[in-house]
Amino acid sequence: MSDPEPPASPGRRPRVAAAVTAAVLFAGVAVLLAVSTPWHPLPGHVPGGPVPADPALDFTRGEIARSRAFDAAINPSAYAGLIVGLAAALVLGLTPFGARLIGRTARRLRRRPLRIALAVVVLTTVLRLIGLPFDIRGEQVLRRYGLSTQSWPSWLGDQAKSLAVTWVIWTVALLLLYGLLRRFPRYWWAGAAGGAFALVVAVSFAYPVVVEPVFNKFEPLPAGRLRSDLLAMAARDGVPVKDVLVADASRRTTALNAYVSGFGSTRRIVVYDTLLKSPPARIESIVAHELGHAKNGDVLWGTLVGALGVAGAVCLLSLLLTSPRLLARAGVPARRPGEPGSGAADPRSAALLLALVTVAAQLGGPAQNLVSRHIEARADAHALDLTRDPGTFVSMQHELSVRNISDLAPDALERALWLTHPAGPERIAMARDWARMHHVTAPPPLTGR
């Protein structure tokens, strides 16, 4: 008879528990995505099936050429910014450079919370400055093509506001995280996962009323025929909407857009003021799309999936953040018994944490975009069901694509990295398929073919 296996060492038990918890949480995310994602948003519709997504059917040669030219102009700065930003985060986190930078800038601060806050400010500012030349180049392209209406001071002001919001969110998160690391050095990840879940929910709830007003002014849609028709459509759809807000987007862009954000008492449907220049029927079509998001609880489901995913990521990150090899590579002193501020609890490990989060976000982005495209397609189907007007839907999608200079034929890499919505021709093809399936006259090609 063989001897019984020795019990797991005290240092190993927390890591095993963290790994198991991460697996359970990610399994929960997978189940939620499998259940809540509309993998077939329009039953019977097969993308690229009976009705092809052919840009030439609805877009002129000039419109297609302009889309391609804009894509060719904006992509180099976008890809370069992505690569350089990721490389910079890895250099800061996986070499001693980041730890030394934090140590030198915060060495005169004795209070630990101040050292953590300064670490956040230093790291996020460095990364933002590294990416700034690529953002400027992208803004120049937007100006050249008439999509941006901002002055440079206004644009820089928005960049500063965005950076300040980043400081606040990251500082709150890291103060809580490092507090748990010091107080519960073995099972800190459990409290951190719960805190991350709560923080995601809180941000999703508060974002519409706290963060969005920092960048835009919102006013109720003025009383009139359009407002009455939109509220009546929402009532007919069974979606409680107290108001429809208009964002002053024209001070920043000429693009058209509308969106739904928040949930519960903070849920709101917002339309850009640039959209108000479109015919009322087209506005109703795009608002019907947003009502689809509200009726299906897309923000609530997205928040739940995101909160569970972030909680699972925290458990997984704990295994990496406490790895002696990674800590040594990052230039963070190993944890010493009796010193709760050493090892992963040392504020100098913030650079490693930021690098790990950056990599995780990049790896998860394509999956998020895939799910988002299906959710957006379901909202399109909802708009068609609600308005029963595929002709207006097609003309609205054409206007959106042309005004926003959308990519009409994205390649696989662009689709994975950037596309949160189906391409315009795909949405138009779906509308024609909807018309065929519902025995409604299908909109003819807009180019006259």
For the annotated binding site for Zn(2+), the residues are 289, 293, 376
Q: Three-class SS of residue 47?
A: coil
Catalytic residue among 58, 346, 380, 407: 380
What single-letter amino acid sits at 134? F
Of residues 58, 71, 290, 298, which has the active-site annotation?
Answer: 290
Strand partners, 270: 245, 259
Find residue 268's DSSP bridge partners: 261
| 204 contact partners, CB below 8 Å, separation of at least 6 | 262, 263, 299, 302, 303, 306
What residues pair up with 244 in beta bridges, in sequence order? 269
d(CA 238, CA 411): 38
Task: Give me 127's structure tokens.
Answer: 């990364």
- Examine the residue annotation and report whether 414 is marked as an active-site residue of this protein: no
The binding site comprises: 289, 293, 376
Closest CA to 398 of 412, 386, 408, 389: 408
**What ranges make up the beta strands (E) of 194-267?**
218-220, 244-247, 258-261
Closest by CA to 422, choosing from 61, 34, 43, 41, is 41
Sequence-separated (6 or more) residues with CB below 8 Å from residue 120: 167, 170, 171, 174, 350
Which residues is 269 bridged to in the sheet?
A: 244, 260
Beta-strand relationship, 268-272 and 244-247: parallel
In 10 A of CB 49, how many CB atoms?
Answer: 11
Q: Which residues contact 135 (CB under 8 A, 6 or more apart)?
A: 77, 81, 159
Burial class (CB in 10 A: 0-12, 13-18, 19+), 20: exposed
273 is catalytic: no
Q: Please name the helix (run of DSSP H) or strand (run of DSSP E) that holds residue 113, with its range, or none.
A: helix 112-144
Which residues have a catalytic role annotated? 290, 380
